[in-house]
Amino acid sequence: MNLNRSNYFNLLINLSSKISRKVVFSRFSLNLRQLKRLIAAYKHVRVLRLPDCILSVPSAPDFSKALTNCQIQELDLSYSGESYSSDWENNLDEFKNLVEGLASSPDLRLSIRRVSILGCLITQNEAEQIFAVNELEQVKIMDGN
């Protein structure tokens, strides 16, 4: 039996219209293209959780058009920055790229209220500075403290 991961990923994208409030994708490994597709497909949910994920963000994704009418209020990245995941302690530029990409969407800028960085090896102060540079000062950074 041939297990093609792209088939499963496409099914998850196609199912997005069936989910209305909250979605969790735990322990996924997503390249930049997949991450952009996933966030765009679930832009209508209020809570998007990506805990323990490996997120490859070598450049800032352009969400300016992909997240039109975005409703995401909370983004949970808990443990996705851990050393066994995206390792943001040693790859802080990838976290910066993610935030810059999120900030490129005017609608997400209006909807987003909270981002969890629990266990991501980034201090709350570092994260707040990165969000401020991207004019997202209104976002409450939650790090578990």
Q: What is the pLDDT of residues 46-71, one digit of tens each?
A: 999 999 999 999 999 999 999 999 99
pLDDT given at position 7: 78
Counting Cβ atoms within 10 Å, is residue 87 exposed (0-12), middle (13-18) or buried (19+)? middle
Domain tally, the chain: 1
Would you call 140 helix, strand, or coil by DSSP? Answer: strand
User: Is the pLDDT confidence value at 1 over 60?
Assistant: no
CA 51 and chain centroid, separation: 9
93: in domain: yes
Domain assignment of residue 58, given as a range: 20-142
